């Protein structure tokens, strides 16, 4: 029997219970939210039980309006044997964005976490070489956070809420 989203969800609920929230299947991909300190446990469980052994993508999203959990770190895992993907995210506060590093599980997490740190300032605890990767080393801010709009804030001739994110 091939692996389905239902089986994965049941397995995760048995193991983690109420810790996992925000279940959904947008566009067919099983998605959920894990507590900030459970990311490695979820990843190891998915890897051991359901062979999610490939880290497709790791990135972050900034939600300035979610007080106390402004930064979301998003993991995309792939089970290449059954060809099924899963996505989960963890939320951390922007004041103390500490996340356990996944470099011990996936070698590919190294640069992806450096990129995430570079743009969002997520502090990956235990990362072997956490420093900027694409931006200059001297930069002292995290440019993909939403407090840096692309539009020049001094312009007064444009009035459109939808444009200047």
Residue with smaller CB distance to another protein, 16 or 111: 111
Minimum gap (Å) between residue 162 Cβ and another protein: 5
Q: Of 10-49, which residues contact another protein (CB under 8 A)?
A: 26-27, 29, 31
Applying CB under 8 A, the span of 2-10, 34-42, 94-102, 156-164 interacting with another protein comes to 156-164
Burial class (CB in 10 A: 0-12, 13-18, 19+), 12: buried
The structure tokens 């996936």 sit at: 106
Residue with smaller CB distance to another protein, 70 or 85: 85
Minimum gap (Å) between residue 56 Cβ and another protein: 6
Residue 59 binds another protein (CB under 8 A): yes
Selection from 82, 93, 81 nearest residue 35 by Cα: 93
Residue 131 binds another protein (CB under 8 A): no
Site string for another protein, 93-122 (x = CB under 8 A): -------------xxx-xxx--x---x---
Neighbours of 62 (CB within 10 A): 19
Minimum gap (Å) between residue 111 Cβ and another protein: 5
Q: Of 69-98, which residues contact another protein (CB under 8 A)?
A: 74, 76, 80, 83, 85, 87
CA 117/CA 38 separation, integer angstroms: 19
- What per-residue string of b and e applies to 81-116 under the rule 16 or more CB within 10 Å gives b? eeebbbbbbbbbebeebebbbbbebbeebbebbbbb
Beta bridge partners of 60: 73
CA 120/CA 134 separation, integer angstroms: 12
For another protein, the binding residues (CB under 8 A) are 26-27, 29, 31, 53-57, 59, 61-62, 74, 76, 80, 83, 85, 87, 106-108, 110-112, 115, 119, 132-136, 143-144, 148, 150-151, 162-165
């Amino acid at each position: 029997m091939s692996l389905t989203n239902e089986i994965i969800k049941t397995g995760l609920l048995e193991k983690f219970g109420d810790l996992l929230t925000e279940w959904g299947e947008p566009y067919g991909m099983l998605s959920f939210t894990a507590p900030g300190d459970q990311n490695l446990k979820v990843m190891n469980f998915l890897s051991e039980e359901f062979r999610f052994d490939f880290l497709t993508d790791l990135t972050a999203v900034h939600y300035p309006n979610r007080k106390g959990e402004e930064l979301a770190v998003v993991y995309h895992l792939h089970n290449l044997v059954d060809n099924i993907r899963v996505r989960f995210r963890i939320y951390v506060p922007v004041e103390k964005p500490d996340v356990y590093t996944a470099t011990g599980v996936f070698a590919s997490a190294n640069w992806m976490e450096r990129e995430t740190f570079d743009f969002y300032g997520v502090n990956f605890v235990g990362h072997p070489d956490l420093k900027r990767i694409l931006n200059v080393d001297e930069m002292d801010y995290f440019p993909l956070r939403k407090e840096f709009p692309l539009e020049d804030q001094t312009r007064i001739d444009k009035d459109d809420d939808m444009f200047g994110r």
